[in-house]
C-alpha cells in the first residue's frame, strides 16, 4: 500500500463494516512512534493510525514545517510548509478512507504541539472531513487555515484542547486564545489545563480518552 505518508496502524479489535479513525499527528522533531504509544489504550473500535511528518530532520526526527530561530531567539514558522502539510494530511485522510474500512464521517485528529497546531488548522479548514480534534500543547494559528475558513459549517465539529500551565515551549497564553475563537464560531469545545510543562500528563490522557467515549 503506497500512501503519501509513512504510517503505523493499530487495527480495530472490534470490526465493523466501517470503523472510526483516530489519526495521530506528532510534534516537531519527533516521529510516528511517539504518540503511537497511546494506541493500546485507545477505544477498541477505532483504527488508530500514526503518521510521520514529511520533513526529515535526521536521526529519526521529523517536522510538519520548519521552525527557525533568529538572533533574538524569536521563533517563526514556515507558513508555506505548514499549509502544504495541512493539505497533505487531508489528502492522506482521503487515502486512508479509500484503502481501509474507515467511516469517512468519523475522523478524529489527535495532535501534540506542532501536530496540534496543524489539527486545528485542518479541522477549521475542512470541517466536512473532520469530526473531532484532540489538540494537546498547541494553539490555533489562523494563518495556517484556508482563506475565509470562518464561512465553513462547523455544526458537526467538536474539539478537546489541553495545555500544561507551565509549558516552556508553547506558552499557555497562546493556547488560551483558541477557546474564544471557537466559541465565536459556534464550535463545540472543551479546554483543560494541567500542572505540567510541554507534555501529556496522565490525567490529560484519561480526560481526552473519556471525551472520545462521551462524544461518539
pLDDT digits (tens, 9 = 90+) for 59-115: 999 999 998 765 454 566 889 999 999 999 999 999 999 999 999 999 999 999 999
Domain-located, residue 74: yes
Domain-located, residue 1: no
Domain-located, residue 141: yes
Domain-located, residue 160: yes
Computed over every residue of the chain, the mean pLDDT equals 94
The predicted structure's pLDDT at residue 2: 80
CA angle 155, 102, 52 (to 5 degrees): 95
- Counting the structural domains of the chain, the total is 1
Domain-located, residue 2: no
Domain-located, residue 207: yes
The predicted structure's pLDDT at residue 68: 74
Residue 212 has pLDDT above 70, yes or no: yes
CATH number at residue 197: 3.40.50.1820
Domain-located, residue 32: yes
Question: Once rounded to an integer, what is the mean pLDDT over residues 7-25?
Answer: 96
Pairing label, strands 188-194, 158-164? parallel
The predicted structure's pLDDT at residue 36: 94
Residues 6+ apart with CB under 8 A from 93: 21, 23, 107, 129, 130
The predicted structure's pLDDT at residue 75: 61
Range of the domain at 166: 7-214
Domain-located, residue 195: yes
Span 165-189, pLDDT tens digits: 999 999 999 999 999 999 999 999 9
Span 34-59, pLDDT tens digits: 999 999 999 999 999 999 999 999 99
Per residue, the 3-state secondary structure of 95-124, as one string, reads: HHHHHCCEEEEEEEEEEECHHHHHHHHHHH
Residue given cell 507534555 in the structure block: 199
Rounded to an integer, what distance in angstroms lies between the CA atom of residue 49 and that of residue 46?
9
Candidates 175, 86, 87; CA nearest to 137 is 175
pTM: 0.95
The predicted structure's pLDDT at residue 216: 78
Residues 6+ apart with CB under 8 A from 133: 108, 109, 110, 111, 119, 120, 123, 157, 158, 159, 160, 161
Amino acid at each position: 500500500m503506497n500512501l503519501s505518508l509513512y504510517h503505523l496502524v493499530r487495527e480495530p479489535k472490534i470490526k465493523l463494516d466501517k470503523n472510526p479513525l483516530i489519526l495521530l499527528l506528532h510534534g516537531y522533531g519527533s516521529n510516528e512512534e511517539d504518540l503511537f504509544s497511546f494506541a493500546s489504550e485507545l477505544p477498541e473500535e477505532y483504527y488508530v493510525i500514526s503518521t510521520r511528518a514529511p520533513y526529515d530532520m535526521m536521526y529519526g526526527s521529523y517536522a510538519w514545517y520548519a521552525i527557525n530561530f533568529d538572533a533574538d531567539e524569536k521563533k517563526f514558522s514556515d507558513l508555506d510548509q505548514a499549509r502544504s502539510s495541512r493539505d497533505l494530511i487531508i489528502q492522506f485522510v482521503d487515502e486512508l478512507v479509500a484503502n481501509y474500512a474507515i467511516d469517512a464521517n468519523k475522523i478524529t485528529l489527535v495532535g501534540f504541539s506542532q501536530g496540534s497546531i496543524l489539527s486545528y488548522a485542518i479541522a477549521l479548514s475542512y470541517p466536512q472531513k473532520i469530526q473531532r480534534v484532540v489538540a494537546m500543547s498547541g494553539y490555533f494559528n489562523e494563518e495556517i487555515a484556508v482563506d475565509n475558513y470562518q464561512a465553513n459549517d462547523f455544526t458537526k465539529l467538536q474539539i478537546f484542547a489541553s495545555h500544561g500551565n507551565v509549558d516552556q515551549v508553547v506558552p499557555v497564553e497562546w493556547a488560551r486564545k483558541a477557546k474564544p475563537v471557537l466559541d465565536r464560531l459556534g464550535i463545540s469545545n472543551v479546554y483543560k489545563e494541567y500542572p505540567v510543562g510541554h507534555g501529556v500528563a496522565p490525567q490529560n490522557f484519561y480526560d481526552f480518552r473519556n471525551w472520545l467515549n462521551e462524544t461518539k
